[in-house]
Structures are given as C-alpha cells and as structure tokens.
Amino acid sequence: MTLWIILGIVAVLIIWIISIYNGMVKMRNKVDKEWRNIDVQLERRYSLIPNLIETVKGYAKHEQGTFEKITEFRSQAMNARSVGEKAQANSQLSSALAGLTVQMEAYPELKANTNFLNLQEELASTENKISFSRSIYNEVVMDFNNKIQIFPNNIFAGMFNFKEKELFEISTAEVKEVPKVSF
Amino acid sequence: MYELIRSNRRKSWFVFIGMGLLLITAGAAIGFYLDPNPESGQGALGGIFIAIILWAIQALIAFLGGDKIILNMSNAHKISSNDDKELFNVIDELSIASGLPMPDIYVIDTPAMNAFATGTNPKKSVVAITSGLRSRLSRQEMQAVMAHEMSHIYNRDVKYMTFASIMLCTIVILSEILLRTFLFSGGGRKNSSNKGGGNGAAQLIIIVAVIALAILAPILARMFYFSLSRKREYLADATAVNFTRDPNSLANALEKIAGDNTVFDPGKMAAAMCINKPRLKEHKENLSSTHPPIQKRIAILRALSMGTDYDTYTKVYASVVGKSDLPKSKKSKS
C-alpha cells in the first residue's frame, strides 16, 4: 500500500515537472519566433539602404557625410551578434535615417522621383514593422524571463539550461513613441 | 490571453442574453396572441420556436455570406499592394502589431469619409476605406483609422455585432407581425375567446400587454444594440492606440472625419463597424446612435498623455464619459 502511494506521488511529481518543462519550451520557441520576425524586418532594412543612398546621391552631393555614417551604422548593425548589440546598432541606424529624411526636405526635386518615394515608403513601413515586432518581442521575452525566474520553475530552468533572453531595447529617447517617419 | 477573450465574451453575453430574452418573449407573445390557449401553451411555444428559427436562418445567411456586404457595393474594389503601396503597407504593419492575418483591403469610391471592417472570422476579414477619407489623411492618421478597424476584427466585434443586429432585426420583424395581425384582425380575437367563458377582462389585459410588448420590445432591443455598439466603439479606440501608441493621430483623423457631411450608407450591418457613424439620408438617421459622440472619443484620445495601454484608456474613459463600464479587450493585460 505505502509503495503504491509513493509511486503515485512520484508519478504526479514527474508529470508536474514535465508540464513545467513543456511550458518553458513553448515560451522559448515563442521568443525565438518573435525574434525571427524582427530579424526579417532588420534584414529588409539593410537591403533597402544601399538602394536609397544610390538614388539620393545624384541629388544631394553635399550629404556625403550622412551617407557614410548611415553605411557605417548599417554594417555595424549587420555585424552585431547579440540581441543587445543589434538593438543598439539599429537604434543608431534609425535615428541616422530619420536625420536623412529631414535633410532630404531640402531637395524638392527628390519628391518627383518615384523610385525615391517608393523607397522612402518601404523604409518607413519597415521602420514601423520593426517597432511593432519589437514591442511584441519584448512582451514575450518579459513573460519568458518571468516564467523561468519564479519559484519553483527557476530550479528546473537551471537544470534544463533555460537562460534569460535579452530585451530588444532602444535608447530611452525613442522608447515612448513609435518613431514617426513621415516621408 | 485566452482567458481575457473569455472574460470579454462573458460581458457581451449579458447583452446577448437580454436581447435573447426579448426575442423569446416576442415570439411567445405572437404565438400566444394567435393561439391563446393557456392550458396547452402550444401557441407560446410555437411562437418561440418560430422566433428562434427566424433568427437562426438569418444568422446562417449572415455568416455564410457576411463579407458579401462589401462585394455588393458597386463602387467598392479590392486593392493589392501595387494599387496603393502606402495603404497596403500600413495594414501590413498593423497585422504585425495585432498578430492578425492580413485582411482583404477594399477602397470605396465616394467622397464621403469613412472606413469599416467586416468578416466574422479574422482569417477572412475585410477592411475598407472610402477614397474620400484615403485622400485626406496623412500616413499616421490612416494608420490610426486602420488600427481602429483592425481592432474591430481583433476584438471580434464583427461577430458580436452581427449576432446582435440579427437579433434586433428578428425582434423588429416579430413585433411588426404582432402589430399587423392585431390591426388586421381589429382585435377580433376577443370574440372567439369569449365563447370559452366570461374571462373577457383577463383576455383584454393580456392583449393590451402583448401589444405593449410589441411596441416596447424593438425599442428595448435597439437600446441594447446601441449600447453594445457604442462600447465596442470605445474599445476599438482603446485597442487601436494600444497597437499604434499614437492617440493623437487617431484624434486628428477623427476631427477630420467629424467635419464630413457626405451621405454614406454602407448598410445596417456594416454601420456598426465604421470609424464614425455613417451620415445616412434623413429618414434613416435613427441608426445614428451606433457610435458614441465623436467629440467624446477625441477628448479621451487627447487626454492619453500618460500612456496608451488599456488601463489608462479605461481611466480616462471613466472621467470623460462618467461611467466605468468599458468591456475588456484581449489586449488589456499589457
């Protein structure tokens, strides 16, 4: 009789641990999925930038410095490995692009270039998509981190090697609002 | 998250149950009036049965062909990304923000300024904007308006309002049948029942009650329907700013829309899903209370300086509207 009781308790414990483990795996996969969503948009932006610069160059010869800065931030962002680094580099890239937009106001001829207008629209849209995916990603990461830190999950998180995920944070000035890239 | 959808559903069920009871009462009243035999109760039961069948048939038609509303509009056309890159991108961004699948996008050629969403299933939903509105909004304002429409899909408002509006229609139809039978028979029921005995006074009271019900039921049902609709409208605003975190653009867009006086009639079903109450031809103005006063909506949005989350919206809503009865959104947790 006692044996059966002990076996019963052990079985319940095992089922309990399995459910905790599965819960953590599911959330980790969700974090990974949301990260890929951001990454797709980041890649999209990297590929749009050279086209934009190519188009704008002919009109705005004096903005060479800005172009170089953007190109440099772009390659920094592309080479960044961790989430934090990518966030940092992309936040620089975002503000540089926003700066470029303001400077382009000085070249009314550009407004007549459909190619330029299309690129601007695509970049604006990508920027918004990055910011929307970012907030979803951060929400999911927050949930995941909470999940693996609370007791008793933290014991199993340690055992099964679940590590905290990094937030995709941008510099504080931009946090409050969606970057308003109006072209 | 799903728990919150459920709690959201529960709140709306109250209104549904209210309307459902009205529907059943109206059905029972008709049945009873046509066959006033208190012993068997067959008349009343038959009436309820007919009322439910009537409702079910309409619900079936609406759900099978729900998104046809838009296809029936001769001046509506579906657009792809090449037709209007900006509009398409804006909605693509919102589908990321909301996690909803990409809806079909329609533009309706009319100078009126409005937009609406339809489709009872998020996988087969439609958002539409009039060309008049499209041409007068900035990118951010358009995003705000489309976020409001996507929020209707997100909060499953199309489904709730379709159910509710069918209930309303059925109640109106039943009441009309009731009143007409009464008028045509000239209250003649009295004579036939007099044969049964001397309970003419009781019979008269019942008839008066039935007629009162026939008049009151549609009014009550309308009140239920409009109150549901107005709340879902505020909720869509709350959800929209939660997506875009940009309440001012929505307020700006609403201000532009408020100044519009062009007649636009998307049909009864779609009206509740519009960004603002459609301005109908005069004899239809009584439909107008599907939407809360646009000035109040703007006032709430303008006051959202401290945050765009659902809780902040609820607080500001309570101070502007004076009630705290906003239904919960799926998104309300953040």
**Strand ranges (E), chain B:** 76-79, 104-108, 115-118, 126-130
Question: Mutate which of B91, B93, B94 to test chain A, going by most A C-beta atoms within 10 A?
Answer: B93
- CA gap B289, B277 in Å, rounded: 8
According to DSSP, the residues that pair with B76 across neighbouring strands are B108
- Does B96 reach chain A within 8 Å, measured CB to CB? yes
Strands laid side by side in the B104-108 sheet:
B76-79, B104-108, B126-130, B115-118
| A183 contacts on B by Cβ (under 8 Å) | 139
Q: DSSP characters for A95-111?
A: HHHHHHHHHHTT-GGGG
Q: pLDDT tens digits, residue range B69-78?
A: 555 665 788 8
B/e letters for B113-124, b = 16+ CB within 10 Å, e = fewer, are bbbbbbbbebee
Under the banding of pLDDT at 50, 70 and 90, the label for residue B263 is low
Residue B199 in this model has a pLDDT that exceeds 60:
yes
Query: Cβ contact (<8 Å) for B96 and A133?
Result: yes
* Contact (CB, 8 A) for A91 and A76: no
Between B149 and B275, the more confident residue is B149
According to DSSP, the residues that pair with B275 across neighbouring strands are none
Between B285 and B62, the more confident residue is B62
> Which 8-state DSSP code applies to residue B98?
H
Under the banding of pLDDT at 50, 70 and 90, the label for residue B323 is low
Under the banding of pLDDT at 50, 70 and 90, the label for residue A44 is very high
d(CA B312, nearest CA chain A) in Å: 15
Q: Which of residues 221-280 of B touch A (CB under 8 A)?
A: 243-246
Tokens of B40: 């068997």
Query: Cβ contact (<8 Å) for B93 and A129?
Result: yes
- CA gap B304, A101 in Å, rounded: 28
pLDDT of residue B290: 66
The mean per-residue pLDDT over the stretch B321-329 comes to 68
pLDDT of residue B186: 56
- CA gap A49, A92 in Å, rounded: 14
Tokens of B13: 């069920």
Query: CA torsion B192→B197→B202→B205, rounded to 10°?
Result: 10
Query: Cβ contact (<8 Å) for B93 and A118?
Result: no
- CA gap A32, A165 in Å, rounded: 10
* Residues of B annotated catalytic, as ranges: 149
Question: Mutate which of A178, A180, A182, A183 to test chain B, going by most B C-beta atoms within 10 A?
Answer: A178
Q: pLDDT tens digits, residue range B26-44?
A: 787 777 777 666 666 677 7
Query: How many interchain CB pairs under 8 A, A with B?
Result: 41
**Close Cβ partners of B136 (under 8 Å, ≥ 6 residues apart):** B113, B256
- CA gap B251, B298 in Å, rounded: 5
According to DSSP, the residues that pair with B104 across neighbouring strands are B126
Q: Is the peptide bond before A152 cis (omega within 30 degrees of 0)?
A: yes
- Does A101 reach chain B within 8 Å, measured CB to CB? no
Q: A179 by DSSP, 3-state: which?
A: coil
Give the chain B residue whose CA is nearest to the CA of A176: B245
- CA gap A71, A158 in Å, rounded: 41
* Contact (CB, 8 A) for B116 and B139: no
pLDDT of residue B192: 47
| B90 contacts on A by Cβ (under 8 Å) | 125
pLDDT of residue B286: 44
Nearest to A45 by CA among A107, A130, A143: A130
Q: pLDDT tens digits, residue range B90-115?
A: 999 999 988 899 998 989 888 888 88
Between B11 and A180, the more confident residue is B11
- CA gap B317, B312 in Å, rounded: 8
One-letter identity of residue A41: Q
pLDDT of residue B194: 44
Residue B324 in this model has a pLDDT that exceeds 90:
no
**Close Cβ partners of A120 (under 8 Å, ≥ 6 residues apart):** A52, A101, A183
pTM of the model: 0.79
- CA gap B99, B4 in Å, rounded: 16
- CA gap A135, A179 in Å, rounded: 13
pLDDT of residue B284: 41
Residue A130 in this model has a pLDDT that exceeds 70:
yes
Nearest to B237 by CA among B165, B137, B304: B304
Half-sphere exposure of residue B185, counting CA atoms within 13 Å on the CB side?
15
pLDDT of residue B183: 72
Nearest to A122 by CA among B77, B115, B139: B139
Query: How far from each other are the two terminal CA atoms of chain A, in whole angstroms?
Result: 77
- Does B181 reach chain A within 8 Å, measured CB to CB? no
Q: Which of A132, A135, A176 sits opposite B93 (nearest CB)?
A: A132
Q: For residue B178, report the phi and psi dihedrals to the nearest 5 degrees.
A: -60, -50
Q: DSSP characters for B109-165?
A: --SS--EEEE-SSGGG-EEEEEHHHHHH--HHHHHHHHHHHHHHHHTTHHHHHHHHH
The mean per-residue pLDDT over the stretch B176-195 comes to 62
pLDDT of residue B102: 92
pLDDT of residue B245: 86
**Close Cβ partners of B186 (under 8 Å, ≥ 6 residues apart):** none
- Does A180 reach chain B within 8 Å, measured CB to CB? yes
Tokens of B28: 């029972």
pLDDT of residue A89: 87
| B138 contacts on A by Cβ (under 8 Å) | 182
Query: Cβ contact (<8 Å) for B245 and A182?
Result: no
Tokens of A105: 């106001």
